């Protein structure tokens, strides 16, 4: 099984983006020491830009041909690793000087698309490992949601499992090691089918 892990570059006042650190960790030599349950795992870092973020992800999808995509992004105000249930076909204009206007991401497409990850199975495994976990029903209306929605639309009629996970800033309450542990557990659920 091939699994693609995506994260984002730093943005705004966030000088460290744990989703980037996670994607880079996957590709680092130390990433080979993690139990990926026999999966071939690759990381990619995306720009924090509407449309361009997904274009980079789509390019990597085309090269790697994954069976599943776990896309991660920073939610600086959150305290838990949150599995997102739905991507919205909507964006708000950026607060970081972007000229992108508010409106539908993909006109004529559904208002919302669900994650196709086994959310409940992943949540159960992660809580069993005492990781700081939660479920969110919306990935917001910024670039994380833009990537999530376009990814779900891209895979709409395929067998690829995909979804988005928001992570808090790296701290004593949620370390990079815990994010790697969570990713390993999520991959284990995907590989084992439960």
Handedness of CA 166, 168, 170, 176 (dihedral sign): negative
Annotated catalytic residue 10: no
Whether residue 12 is predicted with pLDDT greater than 90 in this model: the reply is no
Higher local confidence (pLDDT), 12 or 89: 89
Whether residue 92 is predicted with pLDDT greater than 90 in this model: the reply is no
Annotated catalytic residue 84: yes
Question: Per the residue annotation, which of 49, 60, 144, 174 is the catalytic one?
Answer: 144
Annotated catalytic residue 109: no
Q: Residue range 106-126: average pLDDT?
A: 95
Q: Residue range 118-145: average pLDDT?
A: 93
CA 60/CA 55 separation, integer angstroms: 9
Domains of the chain (ranges plus CATH)? 2-192 (3.40.630.20)
Q: Residue range 26-34: average pLDDT?
A: 80
CA 105/CA 173 separation, integer angstroms: 34
Question: Per the residue annotation, which of 49, 60, 166, 174 is the catalytic one?
Answer: 166
Whether residue 99 is predicted with pLDDT greater than 70 in this model: the reply is no
CB count in 10 Å sphere of residue 15: 8
Q: What is the pLDDT of residue 98?
A: 57
Question: Per the residue annotation, which of 32, 84, 109, 137 is the catalytic one?
Answer: 84
Contact 81, 167 (CB under 8 A): yes
Q: What is the pLDDT of residues 32-78, one digit of tens each?
A: 788 899 999 999 999 999 999 999 999 999 999 999 999 999 998 89
194 confidence band (pLDDT: 50, 70, 90): low
Q: What is the pLDDT of residues 145-172, one digit of tens each?
A: 999 999 999 999 999 999 999 999 998 8
């Amino acid at each position: 099984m091939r699994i693609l892990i995506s994260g984002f570059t730093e943005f705004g006042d966030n000088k460290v983006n744990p989703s980037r650190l996670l994607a880079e960790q996957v590709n680092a030599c130390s990433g080979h020491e993690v139990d990926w349950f026999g999966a071939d795992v690759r990381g990619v870092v995306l720009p924090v830009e509407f449309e361009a973020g997904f274009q980079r992800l789509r390019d990597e999808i085309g090269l790697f041909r994954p069976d599943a995509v776990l896309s991660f992004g920073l939610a600086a105000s959150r305290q838990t690793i949150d599995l997102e249930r739905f991507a919205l076909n909507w964006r708000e204009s950026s607060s970081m000087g972007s000229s992108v206007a508010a409106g539908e991401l993909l006109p004529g497409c559904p208002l919302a698309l669900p994650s196709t990850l086994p959310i409940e199975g992943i949540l159960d495994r992660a809580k069993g490992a005492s990781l700081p976990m939660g479920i969110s029903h919306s990935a917001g209306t910024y670039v994380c949601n833009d990537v999530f929605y376009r990814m779900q639309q891209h895979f709409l009629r395929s067998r690829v499992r995909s979804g988005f996970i928001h992570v808090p800033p790296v701290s004593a309450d949620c370390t990079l090691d815990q994010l790697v542990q969570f990713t390993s557990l999520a991959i284990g659920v995907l590989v084992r089918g439960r």
